[in-house]
Structure 1
Amino acid sequence: MINVLFAATPARWDSYEAPLRAALNDAGIDAHLAQDIPPADVDYIVYAPNSPLQDFTPYTRAKAVLNLWAGVEKIVGNKTLQIPLARMVDPGLTQGMVEWVTGHTLRHHLGMDSHVVNPGHQWTPKAPPLASERSVVIFGLGALGQACARALVGLGFRVSGWSRSAKTLEGVDCLHGDAGLRDALARAEIAIALLPDTPATENTFDAGAFAQMPRGAFLINPGRGPLIDDDALIAALDSGQIAHATLDVFRVEPLPRDHPFWAHQRVTITPHIAADTRASTAARVIVENIRRGEAGAPFINLVDRDLGY
């Protein structure tokens, strides 16, 4: 029997206990799953970065830390963590992100706000361009970025993608590096931010970046709050350089009540709901890595410590 420690908040235990036990049973893995196991006896740690567990030194037998979140910025720099760390790539989370991104992209592309609000009962029969006439750029071509890119390509948009390292994706013009970033910003009539949160990506969208984007562009951020320089975004919105920003993530969450985003007419705020880990599907991803660990096979979704994701 292997020992699997669930190191997350009690609320997550309530959500994950049954799905994890079911997935372990379906995989034929004889495991003791609990919230309290002596550190020296633990084989795998199912983990959320807001767990009280922050010192991994006593877990001398553990083979891997299996993160419940897609983001690992709050754990990847932990010097006591010397064993493999896997991030969550969950089909349910991915599908949720695709739906949120697609919905808000279509909202801005079709100009739906003007029709929903109908200021002054204006009758303005101006049709939007076709998707093939709209340039959408996804900044970040990881698993989530690629899934969103495929969905938008399927709708007929002209989709480009930018990443720090070179990527290839059918139907997407993939750019990378500093020169590629300049090109990507210049194309971004609708910019979708799905980069990880690392020192290299902080303030990717600053005053200089906004100035390079087409005037009247839209910014959609379901990625990470620190990707955006908040003050620079407010200035770009006030000047009309950016027409609207739809934001799901922020530097401080919940977003403070006195933050200027709340009162800005060109900002839409959603409360970090673009994508959520679904216990039923995430449990199977976790158990697949446990199965691989026991079989001596490579873990999936491993974090590159040097890149930070």
Structure 2
Amino acid sequence: MKKNLPIVFVCVLLFALFAVVQVGLSSGFISSYWETNIYLIGINIILAASLNLINGITGEFSLGHAGFMAVGAFAGGVITLNLGLPFLLAIAVGMLAAALAGLLVGLPTLRLRGDYLAIATLGFGEIVRVIMMNIDYVGGAAGLMGIPAVVNWPIIFISVVFTILLIRNFICSSHGRSCLALRENDTAAQMMGINITYYKVMAFVIGAALAGLAGVLYAHYYTIIQPKEFNFLLTFDILVMVMVGGLGSLTGSVVGAVLITVASAFLQSIPELRMVIYAALLIASAVFRPQGLLGTKEVSMNLLRKWGGVLNGSDGSKQAQ
């Protein structure tokens, strides 16, 4: 019974979060502005967690997430708007298209390392944006308009939970352990018989597919998408979320996405300073907390007990003094 307590605790917490937000939205207590930001937080959590799988768990350095998101967004938009097919099919096609793009990009580029991989994936994102701007079927530079607005809070919530569970289960699997070994020392991992290219591409494809999911959700909430939205600045935003939360920490991705999205909401009145403040946050994080807020740690019952013990110990020492 005690072994199931953490699972029960998490389920109760998730249900409470879902219920509170749903009641707030239904009653009008949460304004439309903050409703948009709540949905955006969910989309950003998916983006940050999927990029963390590539950059933090596997140890690569990809800057192509905006491109994968664009592929998913436009593929999903074509399914529902141009073809009039169901939204669930749009999710499947968007994720599949982004995964295929991840496979096509990952096979040749994941043999590169460090800055070379970053430049190659950044180039991919720009190529996708330029291609979309020149395809009339997806609206060209004007993009797609009138996409069905079918995304709501339950869909966002389920998508976020699905993403977290998928990545968490992957990390805890033998495949995930192999990716962690690659992050620590890919030469040693190769000597142990781990197929480096196979596991790098696997993580890359999963991360790309989840970015495609975020793109589909984005398109079907805002109903209008343009190629110019998916530029390198979007990838930079996602990277800041990952870096602030902690490379290699799934919990950190959630924390980073929430903090950066909320900060962005408060900075809407001064958009010209937003990137300056983001850069300052990234510099401060690199100087004072280079591993991010959580580093590679995950919030668990054991960690909460440890923190509780530290706090109790400090309180006890103060009382003794």
TM-score tier (shorter):
under 0.3
Structure with more strand by fraction: 1
TM-score (norm 1): 0.26
Structure with more helix by fraction: 2
